[in-house]
């Protein structure tokens, strides 16, 4: 498993209708191929009366596991468009199953590609894309005159401000990507002319949505 990757936050379901055909996308964050296969089988059992249960999944690692299936649809019209959604968003550890109930009107290969891709995309959006990465917590204490400089450095460098405490000094609690801690420390010391108390705490593997830490 890599130290940083993008996935989805939660299981979700989305449905679209194209020319009376229903496309139901079920998405799930997973940590192994076994979990992905179990989910696919569960969805197939749930929608046993559907004509097609097409899927794709990507399991991250040094050698990623990538699988997809058209499940009876014309080759390249279902599993590949679903997979393209995962790869296009650079997602890992996600499985998507799109169930199709035929509505009586043929969509053609182009229509199928668009419908499977669109439903998969809608499912991903409802599942909420998250960034998983290693962060180190910092405690920074400075004089009130340095508040602006510290705030600017934190926000403009993409670090995550957790809390600001106002006592005799101002204390900032910040999450910094672990690969950036050396640059961050040097920058804080530089902009404060070393008039700062900076302490590094533990390293955490965090889930980030829209710049906000999500605590399970």
Q: What is the mean pLDDT of the chain?
A: 93
Across the range 166-179, mean pLDDT stands at 94
**pLDDT, position 157:** 87
Q: Is the pLDDT of residue 103 over 90?
A: no
Measured distance CA(138)–CA(147) in Å, rounded = 16
How distant is the alpha carbon of residue 89 from its chain centre? Answer: 9
Q: Is the pLDDT of residue 82 over 50?
A: yes
Contacts of 152 (CB under 8 A, 6+ apart): none
Angle at the Cα of 19 from the Cα atoms of 21 and 115, rounded to 5 degrees: 65
What is the per-residue pLDDT across 12-71, written as a single tens digit (0 to 9) for each? 999 999 998 999 999 999 999 999 999 999 999 999 999 899 999 999 988 899 999 999
Nearest to 92 by CA among 19, 30, 38: 30
Q: Is the pLDDT of residue 215 over 70?
A: no
Q: Which domains does the chain have, with CATH numbers?
A: 5-127 (3.30.230.30), 133-214 (3.30.70.240)
8 A C-beta contact, residue 143 and residue 194: no
**pLDDT, position 130:** 93
Write down the pTM of the prediction: 0.80
Angle at the Cα of 48 from the Cα atoms of 24 and 36, rounded to 5 degrees: 65
161 DSSP β-pair partners: 174
Both tokens assigned to 8: 């989805």
- Which pLDDT band holds residue 114 (cuts at 50, 70, 90)? very high
Measured distance CA(205)–CA(22) in Å, rounded = 38
Q: Is the pLDDT of residue 105 over 60?
A: yes
What is the per-residue pLDDT across 5-15, written as a single tens digit (0 to 9) for each? 999 999 999 99
Tell me which DSSP letter residue 25 carries.
Answer: E
């Amino acid at each position: 498993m890599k130290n940083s990757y993008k996935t989805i936050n939660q299981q979700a379901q989305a449905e679209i209708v194209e020319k009376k055909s229903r496309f139901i996308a079920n998405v799930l964050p997973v940590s192994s191929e076994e979990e992905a296969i179990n989910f696919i089988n569960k969805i197939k059992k749930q929608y046993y009366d559907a004509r097609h249960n097409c899927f794709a999944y990507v399991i991250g690692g040094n050698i990623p596991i990538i699988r997809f299936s058209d499940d009876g649809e014309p080759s390249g019209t279902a599993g590949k468009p679903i997979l393209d959604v995962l790869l296009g968003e650079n997602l890992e550890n996600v499985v998507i199953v799109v169930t199709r109930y035929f509505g009586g009107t043929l969509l053609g290969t182009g229509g199928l590609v668009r419908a499977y891709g669109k439903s998969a995309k809608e499912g991903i959006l409802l599942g909420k894309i998250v960034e998983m990465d290693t962060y180190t917590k910092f405690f920074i204490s400075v004089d009130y005159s340095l508040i602006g400089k510290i705030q600017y450095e934190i926000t403009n460098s993409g670090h995550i401000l957790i809390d600001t405490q106002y006592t005799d000094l101002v204390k900032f609690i910040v999450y910094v990507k672990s690969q950036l801690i050396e640059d961050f420390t040097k920058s804080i010391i530089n902009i404060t002319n070393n008039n700062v108390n900076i302490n590094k705490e533990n390293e955490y593997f965090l889930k980030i949505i829209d710049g906000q830490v999500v605590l399970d």
